[in-house]
């Protein structure tokens, strides 16, 4: 058996009140794709940030090729060929690819953009990355921006690449292209460490997987012969079902009526075109589509976070002209995709974040926010019900692990007892155990009669939870389907997402069909 190329042993890292790494180990071979798996808050990011020099370990050692390695900073890590692609890309959007690569290499102190461009072309041809050095970042799709991040590292001779949740925002096609690149890098002798919660992707791409639980490494196993169930068990210490039964129930009265809803994106381009649908109490409408087809814009227009034209009625009441706070006070709740920027205030504590947005509410929660003891009890109940792992209620939200922050926001919005919940990517970045909890929570909301608009890039999630599915393509509702759970349905949705068979007139017809019969909508006024 080959000796590890990179070896992290007995790593301990303590933050105030949190033991994030507690005797963590990781051994990676040359030419290997190695996955790092663990529950939300298990300590994966911390371990990777230690390897990349962003944090210093309190104890333990790192060796490279058998030699002790001290990584005091990311520059140190890069000097030893260790690079990291973060979940949020670190690119200047107004700069070209070449300018971004040059900017990353501040050590060189020269600005020969022609030489940088030539190097990008060389590296991208070598690994099949297909990047135009002169392209401006803001014009590139997410999948290509990610390739730029990889090229940035390769141009600086990185040989060990850490990728944090690299497929979270990619389409299926982009994911396949990324995996092809990773395989080429590995066969060229690079080592890839991929941090992900997606078990099927681990089985597809990685040779071995190291599993962490509560800061400790609990195992390192080959993926050959393993299964999603086995990995999940190793990770959470119990069996995970991977599904959530959706009980049959008759939807109640119309809660939401949307007509002719249109809006533009940040660049002023039309992003949502004349969307129309109705939604009843106790019904989940899944919004499917390849990322960037108007899903986020639809969610934001519904909750008043984006200017729009057309009509949104909640229980027959027109929402036009009302801001998000007013809509929340009338029974809407919203879980945005971007948790760190739009979903919570990073500098505030878990306790304060548990109350965010409630200042204006006149409901049963009125007065709560002036009563310290009740605030704490409310926050404590949220943390316990939704399994938010936090050192304390006064812990800053910005220091929670990604998954725990998501659980905090989800719990906060559900505890509002909304009549309409608009939720985007509810399980992005969550471990399989947490996904189960979130799915059950959303189905319990449905059972209570909440109407839910569910935007998700995961078709499995949409098909598990939704009663009906609307597919957005080019900003239009290109199809609306009843979820009968059939394989044929999955195929039809897939085709619709790819724009197959969705002409503008068909899309209009689908949008009309998406609305309930006239009299039912009007009856709800
Ligand atoms: N800068 C920090 N200060 C205090 N605590 C921190 C800090 N960074 C991380 N932690 C804590 O360390 C623990 C491990 O977090 P980490 O982000 O490493 O987990 P993770 O396995 O990457 O989780 P996820 O899958 O949710 O991203 C968590 O309890 C987290 O709140």
The residue whose CA has the least distance to atom 17 of ligand 1 is 401
Kindly report the backbone phi and psi dihedral angles of residue 275, in degrees, each rounded to the nearest multiple of 5, phi listed first: -75, 140
The number of residues making up the chain comes to 525
**ipTM beyond cut 0.95:** yes
pLDDT at 256 over 80: yes
Structural contact between residues 321 and 310, judged by C-beta atoms closer than 8 angstroms: no
How does DSSP classify residue 3? P
**Chain segment 362-405, per-residue pLDDT in tens:** 444 555 556 778 788 888 999 998 888 898 999 999 988 888 88
Q: Select from 235, 273, 258, 265 the least CA-distant residue to 434.
A: 235
Give the contacts of 291 (CB within 8 A, at least 6 positions apart): 142, 169, 171, 457
Residue-wise pLDDT for 395-439, tens only, equals 999 988 888 888 899 889 888 889 999 999 999 888 888 888 889
Nearest CA-CA partner of 332 in 343, 340, 323: 323
Distance CA 484, CA 482 (A): 6
Q: Are 454 and 468 in contact (CB under 8 A)?
A: no
Side-chain-facing half-sphere of 103: CA atoms under 13 Å: 13
Pocket test for ligand 1, best of 12, 14, 15 (most atoms within 8 A of CB): 15
DSSP H or E run through 127: helix 113-127
Q: Tell me the two tokens of residue 125.
A: 């041809």
How many Cα atoms sit within 13 Å of 41 on the Cβ side?
Answer: 21
pLDDT tens digits, residue range 103-130?
A: 887 665 667 888 889 989 988 888 888 8
Question: Positive or negative, the Cα torsion across 365, 371, 375, 378?
Answer: negative
CA of 42 to the centre of ligand 1 (A): 7
Question: What are the structural domains of the chain?
Answer: 6-236 (3.40.50.300), 242-331+418-525 (3.40.50.300), 339-416 (no CATH)
Q: How far apart are CA 113 and CA 185, in angstroms?
A: 25
- In this prediction, residues 346-369 reach a mean pLDDT of 69
Lowest mean pLDDT among 248-262, 383-397, 491-505: 491-505
> Following CA atoms 160, 164, 169, 170 in sequence, which dihedral angle do they give, to the nearest 10 degrees?
30
- Who lines ligand 1 at CB under 6 A? 15, 18, 20, 38, 40-46, 389, 399-404
Residue with tokens 């060796």: 63
């Amino acid at each position: 058996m080959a000796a590890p190329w990179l070896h992290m042993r007995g790593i301990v890292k303590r933050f105030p009140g949190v033991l994030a790494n507690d005797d963590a180990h990781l051994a990676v071979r040359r030419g290997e794709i190695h996955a790092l798996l663990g529950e939300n808050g298990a300590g994966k990011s911390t371990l990777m940030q230690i390897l990349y020099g962003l944090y210093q370990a309190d104890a333990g050692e790192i060796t490279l090729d058998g030699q002790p390695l001290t990584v005091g900073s990311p520059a140190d890590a890069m000097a030893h060929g260790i690079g990291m692609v973060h979940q949020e890309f670190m690119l200047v959007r107004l700069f070209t690819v070449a300018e971004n690569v040059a900017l990353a290499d501040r050590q060189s102190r020269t600005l020969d953009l022609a030489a940088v461009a030539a190097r990008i072309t060389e590296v991208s041809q070598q690994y099949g990355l297909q990047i135009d050095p002169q392209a401006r970042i803001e014009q590139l799709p997410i999948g290509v921006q990610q390739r730029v991040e990889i090229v940035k590292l390769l141009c600086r001779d990185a040989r060990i690449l850490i990728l944090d949740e690299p497929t979270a925002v990619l389409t299926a096609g982009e994911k396949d292209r990324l995996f092809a690149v990773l395989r080429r890098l590995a066969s060229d002798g690079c080592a890839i460490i991929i941090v992900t919660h997606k078990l099927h992707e681990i089985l597809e791409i990685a040779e071995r997987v190291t599993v962490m639980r509560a800061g400790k490494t609990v195992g390192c196993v080959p993926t050959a012969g393993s299964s999603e169930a086995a990995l999940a068990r190793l990770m959470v210490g119990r069996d995970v079902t991977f599904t959530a039964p959706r009980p049959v129930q008759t939807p109640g009265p119309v809660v939401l009526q949307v007509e002719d809803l249109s809006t533009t994106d940040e660049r002023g381009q039309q992003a949502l075109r004349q969307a129309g649908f109705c939604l009843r109490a106790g019904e989940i409408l899944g919004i499917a589509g390849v990322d960037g087809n108007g899903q986020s814009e639809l969610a934001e227009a519904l909750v008043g976070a984006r200017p729009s034209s057309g009509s949104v009625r909640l229980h027959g009441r027109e929402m036009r002209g009302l801001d998000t706070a007013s809509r929340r006070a009338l029974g809407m709740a919203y879980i945005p995709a971007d948790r760190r920027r739009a979903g919570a205030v990073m500098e505030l504590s878990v306790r304060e974040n548990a109350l965010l947005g409630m200042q204006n509410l006149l409901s049963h929660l009125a007065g709560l926010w002036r009563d310290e003891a009740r605030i704490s009890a409310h926050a404590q109940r949220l943390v316990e019900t939704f399994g938010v792992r936090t050192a304390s209620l006064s812990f800053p939200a910005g220091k929670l692990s990604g998954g725990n922050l998501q659980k905090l926001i989800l719990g906060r919005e559900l505890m509002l007892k909304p009549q309409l919940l608009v939720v985007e990517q509810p399980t992005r970045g969550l471990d399989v155990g947490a996904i189960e909890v979130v799915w059950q929570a959303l189905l319990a909301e449905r059972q209570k009669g909440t109407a839910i608009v569910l935007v998700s890039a995961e078709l499995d999630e949409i098909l598990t939870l939704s009663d009906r599915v609307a597919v957005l393509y080019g900003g239009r509702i290109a199809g609306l389907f009843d979820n009968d759970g059939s394989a044929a349905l999955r195929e039809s949705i897939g085709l619709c997402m790819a724009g197959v068979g969705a002409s503008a007139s068909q899309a209009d017809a689908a949008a009309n069909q998406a609305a309930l019969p006239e009299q039912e909508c009007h009856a709800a006024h």
